[in-house]
């Protein structure tokens, strides 16, 4: 399956533990495999399939793409910001970003939002 991408650069915060791996001054070493040979296009899909095989409690319907949805929901829960969600996901419109939240129960209106009478 081809990888669909917007081909736009995204700036995302990188945790310190990952930054340390990225700046090890070993430009020819793949940080995911630890080898000089580059991973192929199916590297992560194959690795995840192997992981799922070892962990029978993971539903067969869970794919690597599922983590994108989980990440989007987590970003929204932590920030409460649709704008930050849209930026993090690199979506061209807010409507696209909202599709990640369709299964999330969001209370939009609270009692304190209402005017006092």
Outline where the chain has alpha helix (H).
16-22, 43-54, 64-79, 82-89, 94-98
Residue-wise pLDDT for 26-46, tens only, equals 767 777 777 787 777 788 888
User: Side-chain half-sphere of 97: how many Cα atoms within 13 Å?
Assistant: 19
- Token look-up 């915060």 returns 13
- Alpha-carbon span 28 to 31, nearest angstrom: 9
Q: What is the pLDDT of residue 1?
A: 38
User: Side-chain half-sphere of 15: how many Cα atoms within 13 Å?
Assistant: 2
Q: Is the dihedral of CA 50, 52, 55, 60 positive or negative?
A: negative
Six-digit token pair at 48?
Answer: 């995840």
Predicted TM-score of the model (pTM): 0.61
Considering only residues 44 and 116, tell me which one the structure prediction assigns the higher pLDDT: 44
Residue-wise pLDDT for 80-108, tens only, equals 899 999 988 888 888 888 888 887 776 66
């Amino acid at each position: 399956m081809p990888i669909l991408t917007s081909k736009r650069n995204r700036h995302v915060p990188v945790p310190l533990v990952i930054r340390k791996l990225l700046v090890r001054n070993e430009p020819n070493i793949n940080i995911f495999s630890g080898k000089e040979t580059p991973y192929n296009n199916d590297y992560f899909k194959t690795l995840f399939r192997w992981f799922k095989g070892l962990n029978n409690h993971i539903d067969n319907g869970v794919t690597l793409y599922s983590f994108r949805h989980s990440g989007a929901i987590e970003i929204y829960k932590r920030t409460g910001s649709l704008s930050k969600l849209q930026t993090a996901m690199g979506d061209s419109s807010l409507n696209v970003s909202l599709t990640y939240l369709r299964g999330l129960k969001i209370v939009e209106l609270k009692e304190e939002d209402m005017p006092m009478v």
